Amino acid sequence: MRVYTCPACNEPVYFRNLGCSCGAELSYDPEQDRFVQGAAWCSNRQKIACNWIAEDKDGHCRSCSMTEIIPDAFRDNNVSLWSDAEFAKRWVLSNLSRWGWFTNNDAGARPRFHLLSEDTRKGEKPVIMGHADGLITINVIEADPVERERRRDDLSERLRTMNAHFRHEIAHFLQLRLSEDDTFLKEFRALFGDETADYGEALKAYYANGAPPDFEQRHVTRYASSHPHEDWAETAAHVMHLTDIVDSAAASGLQRGDRPTFGYDAYAEPDAEALISQAVDLGLALNHVNRSMGLQDLYPFVISPLARQKMVFTHGAISNSRRSSNAVQAQREFSPAPN
């Protein structure tokens, strides 16, 4: 993520800012990827601190307009959880717009979101996160760091964040869009396997037996071993993680050796191998820094040669969206819907 500048005083401002220390009230324009003054604010600015500009007839920003259902706003902490979830969504959507996804030049379909809470007026109601034919469901209860950490431990996951949830589920949607291209499908199946294999049975077997002992030789995470759909979504999410690590490091002036150079645009990098190498080097260094404070590793993964090959292919597919977005439309259905 870039570090931005205030249009009034040119001092640094950050992606979450509603204003600058100089007193200027700011809003973010996702199409221009910069902060502006004087634009109409998203109608959710006062409710959930959304700092994007209004774009639709209801006064919603580009991100909020994709949300069809919000959590029960009358229950306890649901508004703050909704706010944190929407912030993570805006972060990921802004990242993806750097590759041309969901911009004004992107003629393809956009995802729709249901942001739900298990805490409702009618009592506790389970929420299953997932993607189904363009509809993404997110459980906002995991915006609570205590609850999210409990579930991370229960599931023995190395990484569980709201950004990661949005990246994973949006990755399913990107696969939906990209799969209209026969060339993509042919190359996808050569690396990830047959995505038409019974999804329900595959997940049932995964939760009954766990990942195979050698999963790290072929997949970036345990869950990626469950089905080709999930292998893609986990791999694509990690491509997004690594790209943003490098981009954020460059924006902050952090380097490992002489890379990345200040001002380097990770989203414009065509060489996936070079990008991954930079990200892994930075991850190792930042893991060491985190350990000095007793914190979890920033990027606690080892990437095998085959997982890296999948990442290179995935990076090529999602970063080339500017060239393919006008031709690729979201009409293909997944059944049953992957999570």
pLDDT of residue 257: 84
The span from the CA of 218 to the CA of 216, in Å, is 5
- For tokens 């205030």, the residue is 6
Domain-embedded: residue 305? yes
Q: Check whether the bond before 336 is cis (ω within 30° of 0).
A: yes
Domain-embedded: residue 290? yes
Q: Of 159, 315, 161, 177, which is closest to residue 243 (Cα–Cα)?
A: 315
**250 phi, psi to nearest 5 deg:** -60, -40
* C-beta of residue 176 within 8 angstroms of C-beta of residue 332: yes
Cα-based torsion angle of the residue sequence 104, 267, 244, 224 in order, rounded to the nearest 10 degrees: 90
In the DSSP assignment, the letter for residue 299 is S
Domain-embedded: residue 338? no
* C-beta of residue 5 within 8 angstroms of C-beta of residue 21: no
Give the three-class secondary structure for 136: strand
Residues 149 and 188 placed together within one structural domain of the fold: yes
Q: Answer with the one of 26, 60, 94 that is the final residue of a domain.
A: 60
Task: Supply the pTM of this predicted model.
Answer: 0.90
Residues 44 and 88 placed together within one structural domain of the fold: no
Residues 32 and 149 placed together within one structural domain of the fold: no
Give the three-class secondary structure for 308: helix
Give the three-class secondary structure for 203: helix
Residues 240 and 109 placed together within one structural domain of the fold: yes
The whole-number mean pLDDT for each consecutive block of 10 residues of the chain, a chain of 339 residues, reads 96 96 97 96 96 95 96 79 96 97 94 90 82 94 86 79 95 94 93 94 93 93 95 97 95 88 91 94 93 92 94 94 41 41
pLDDT of residue 321: 53
Which structural domain, as residue segments, surrounds residue 235?
A: 70-324
**108 phi, psi to nearest 5 deg:** -80, 170
Residues 155 and 82 placed together within one structural domain of the fold: yes
**208 phi, psi to nearest 5 deg:** -80, -35
pLDDT digit string (tens) for 13-54?
A: 999 999 999 999 999 999 999 999 999 999 999 999 999 999
pLDDT of residue 76: 67
Beta strands in the chain (DSSP E): 4-5, 12-13, 27-29, 34-36, 67-69, 112-116, 119-120, 123-124, 130-132, 135-139
Residues 19 and 157 placed together within one structural domain of the fold: no
- Please list, in sequence order, all residues whose beta carbon lies within 8 angstroms of the beta carbon of residue 188, skipping any fewer than 6 positions away: 175, 178, 179, 195, 228, 232, 313
Supply 133's token pair: 């034919």
pLDDT of residue 330: 36
Residues 149 and 6 placed together within one structural domain of the fold: no
* C-beta of residue 167 within 8 angstroms of C-beta of residue 241: yes
Supply 68's token pair: 């069809």
Q: Answer with the one of 40, 60, 80 that is the final residue of a domain.
A: 60
Residues 145 and 50 placed together within one structural domain of the fold: no
162-178 vs 182-192: helix crossing angle, rounded to 10? 130
Residues 49 and 74 placed together within one structural domain of the fold: no
Domain-embedded: residue 284? yes
The span from the CA of 13 to the CA of 35, in Å, is 8
Residues 36 and 82 placed together within one structural domain of the fold: no
Domain-embedded: residue 339? no
pLDDT of residue 323: 42
Domain-embedded: residue 335? no
Residues 109 and 179 placed together within one structural domain of the fold: yes
Domain-embedded: residue 65? no
pLDDT of residue 284: 92
Residues 128 and 207 placed together within one structural domain of the fold: yes
Q: Give the number of domains in the chain.
A: 2
* C-beta of residue 27 within 8 angstroms of C-beta of residue 53: yes
DSSP output for 229-277: HHHHHHHHHHHHHHHHHHHHHHHHT--BTTBSPTT--GGG---HHHHHH
Domain-embedded: residue 303? yes
For residue 126, the Cα-to-chain-centroid distance in whole angstroms is 23
